[in-house]
A and B are shown apart, each in its own frame.
Chain A
Amino acid sequence: MDAIILQILNGLDKGSAYALIALGLTLIFGTLGVVNFAHGALFMIGAFCAVSMQRLLNLSYITLDETQKDFLGNPLKVKTPYVESWFGPDMGAAIIDWSVPLAILLAIPVMIVVGIVMERGLIKHFYKRPHADQILVTFGLAIVLQEIIKHYYGANPIPTPAPDAFKGSFDFGVMLGFDPNAIIYPYWRMVYFAFAVVIIGAVFAFLQFTTFGMVVRAGMADRETVGLLGININRRFTLMFALAAAVAGMAGVMYTPINSPNYHMGMDFLVLSFVVVVVGGMGSLPGAVLAGFMLGILEAFASMNQIKSILPGIDQIIIYLVAIVILLTRPRGLMGRKGVMEE
């Protein structure tokens, strides 16, 4: 029982990442009709916003320490971050320690700008082109973006730790009456799950309870009629693209303490998130969230030793197997709209 609870918890944080990326993917598909294969790259750019914030806060001045030598025998260059000299060592260190959550403040405007530039500069030219063209051009864009990041940040993963307050893990097992160490779960993963729930809730609330959201939902249902009413739906859709980029970016920022970011992390998530969208139903926001969490949990279960001993390698293919089964039995996905991508 404890092993099952443990894998459900593991699946929740994995599913959170899938759901956040898939939410943006399906939002873009539902509004603009574009299959955006560069969406994983937006997640990756968000993660590198966290790296940039960390570097920004660690900008330092250098003093020479004559008592210590560097590897060439020269006096050691000691770096002191400016924030520590401005706010004092303790306060400065605390600000640096919180660089990942603070990076959200950087990521939101950066991702909105990136989203608008991407949509206006490239993707709008492919609205009326076949999906295959859209996939090709956005996939190419993703490769370009990741190579730019690699050029400036290198290929090696860059550690971006969580604040000290969220390091370590919580013993759920003891709380639920199991033995100590039976169910442990890192604090930051709990934060990530809670963050995902808040963001997903906020996106739904925005679409459900604001006039802007209502117009967007109307546009998703019937773009032409909304346009005939004199509403500039294209501008709203551009902003939705920017919103989707910001969601992916924030998901990337908060993911960095879980796994050190590297330039190809977007690609690692993209294919799985695309499968999540297809399983959930193209253009269905609740479907994307449901499928994200469902597939995350299934993937975690498939990694259990007990399962792998019966079905070796199942952890690598489980998501695709489920996708095949669902698409064979329900071609529009779990919660897909009738007629969308069914032909």
Chain B
Amino acid sequence: MSKFHVSRRGVLRTGALAGAGLALPTYLRADTGYLNAPTGSSVTLGFNVPQTGPYADEGADELRAFELAVEHLNGEGDGGMLNTFSSKALQGNGILGKKVEFVTGDTQTKSDAARASAKSMIEKDGAIMISGGSSSGVAVAVQGLCQDAGVIFMAGLTHSNDTTGKDKKANGFRHFFNAYMSAAALAPVLQKLYGSDRKAYHLTADYTWGWTQEESIAAATEAMGWETVNKVRTPLAATDFSSYIAPVLNSGADVLVLNHYGGNMVNSLTNAVQFGLREKQVNGKNFEIVVPLYSRLMAKGAGENVKGILGSTNWHWSLQDEASQAFVKSFGTKYGFPPSQAAHTCYAQTLLYADACERAGTFNPCGVVEALEGFEFDGLGNGPTLYRAADHQCFKDVLVVKGKDNPTSEFDLLEVVEVTPRAQVEYAPDHPMFAGGELGSCNPGA
């Protein structure tokens, strides 16, 4: 008969082996089994922004914000919004202890070029996340590519309802607001300032963003009593809008809604002011112009024509909350001027991605998706914010702004008229304007 000896050392050894054995599958699941799993001491992010083409200036501002975010993630600089972010998972030591590095691509604001540059960053540079962009067409295209490839896409400036509507993807996330939210925020202010008895004439850029913007603002203004007199589509390549603007005054409309962005908006607004629309009286009321989506670069391009014109933005550097001020200070100290809303959303997206990795304990896209879905946070400049699980759209306050009458500098072009609370711009995931398409399931890519 053998004797069974139980020694203290034996128990410890067996326990250690059993623990290691149990931990092994978790270890393997956490760091392998997905595309571009970082193996060294660093992790590579891919920033895909327009570096050439008409939105190159906006792309340059996005790139500045990305560089700043990477600095802060790696513990350099003053930390910016890392200090105000409600989640405290990030410690300034990279992501999951790995130093953050980045590569850049040039979208050229063309879907094909953007997909090619994203593909190159994923396949050649090993980028584990793609972010940036300044167009909804590009965002939808790159989001689809990232879903198929198996990396996370943190969208930059994209405002079309479709990005988190019919074209939503499980691997894609949008921090920026959308056309529906702009309309929901803007309509009550328009009613308050211009009344309920108005006739609106829409000029709309003929592509995905323009269509959803027109649909959203027309629905919101009609709901408060406005009549839509006409909706005219203008070619995206148009530069002179005189032949589209000239008929507006004859139409009986007393409001012109310019569903244009970038160069289109600069030219259409300039043309509308040249034709003296703002000095006219129609139906016994002052003629008004509305630009649903504003950006500082557009306001700069249109110059003094933006004075007094209402619109909406995702964020503005003049906000006085602690987070916005921290970001403005970091960015302004480094670059000498305040950040744009495009820069803000790109910075926030980088931090949100890094934080999700930390909380998930992995770079695995499926872990990141799980960490971001339903994530409630604050301290990134927009007040309490939710990353909704159903469509990966961020819900937060929206700013209604107007062109400033007496700017003090070339950056001081817009003033905040109202901060519209989040509850007022929320909608159901199955809202008709966002119908169609499936989020699907996350793709880890391997």
Contacts and interface: CB of A to CB of B under 8 A. Distances in A.
Contact of B408 (A9, A76, A308): A76
A159 B239 contact: no
Contacts of B20: none
Contacts of A308: 232
The listed residue with most A CB atoms (<10 A of its CB), out of B301, B317, B411, is B301
Contacts of A168: 274, 276, 279
A184 interface: yes
Nearest to A257: B274
A159 B305 contact: yes
A14 B244 CA distance: 13
Interface in B319-347: 328-329, 332-333, 337-338
B276 A259 contact: no
B243 A10 contact: yes
Contact of B249 (A71, A167, A184): A184
A264 B54 contact: yes
Given A161-B304, A260-B266, A72 B54 contact: no
A155 interface: yes
A264 to B, nearest CB: 7
B315 to A, nearest CB: 14
Given A184-B246, A305-B247, A259 B232 contact: no
Interface stretch (A21-29, A112-120, A296-304): A296-304
B242 A13 contact: yes
Interface in B366-381: none
Contacts of A150: 56
B292 to A, nearest CB: 19
Contacts of B297: 156
B266 A188 contact: no
A293 B400 CA distance: 43
Interface string A71-100: 110001000000000000000000000000
Contact of B267 (A189, A259, A303): A259
A186 B239 contact: no
A181 B282 contact: yes
A185 B247 CA distance: 11
B276 A186 contact: yes
B291 to A, nearest CB: 15
B53 interface: yes
A315 B235 contact: yes
B87 interface: no
A299 B237 CA distance: 14
Contacts of A218: none
A259 B270 contact: yes
B409 interface: yes
Interface string B12-41: 000000000000000000000000000000
B233 to A, nearest CB: 8
Interface in B225-272: 230, 232, 235, 237, 239-240, 242-244, 246-247, 249-250, 263, 266-267, 270-271
Interface in A159-190: 159, 161, 167-169, 181-182, 184-186, 188-189
B133 to A, nearest CB: 15
B247 A3 contact: yes
Contact of A155 (B57, B232, B304): B57
Given A169-B274, A169-B275, A299 B243 contact: yes
A304 B300 CA distance: 30
Given A155-B53, A168-B276, A259 B240 contact: yes
Nearest to A170: B276
A208 interface: no
Nearest to A308: B232
A305 B275 contact: no
B302 interface: yes
B255 to A, nearest CB: 15
A316 interface: yes
Nearest to A187: B274
Contacts of B271: 258-259
A70 interface: yes
A276 interface: no
Contacts of A156: 57, 297, 300-301
The listed residue with most A CB atoms (<10 A of its CB), out of B232, B271, B302, B408, is B408
A71 B240 contact: no
B280 interface: yes
A181 B247 contact: no
A228 B327 CA distance: 73
B55 interface: yes
A71 B274 CA distance: 32
A225 interface: no
A186 B249 CA distance: 14
A3 B244 CA distance: 11
Contacts of B267: 157, 259-260
Given A259-B267, A303-B244, 4 more contacts: A156-B57, A156-B297, A159-B302, A258-B270
20 contacts: A11-B243, A14-B242, A71-B332, A71-B337, A156-B300, A156-B301, A169-B276, A182-B249, A182-B250, A184-B276, A188-B274, A258-B240, A258-B274, A259-B271, A260-B267, A260-B303, A264-B54, A304-B247, A305-B232, A316-B235
The 3 closest A-B pairs by CB, nearest first: A159-B303, A169-B276, A303-B243
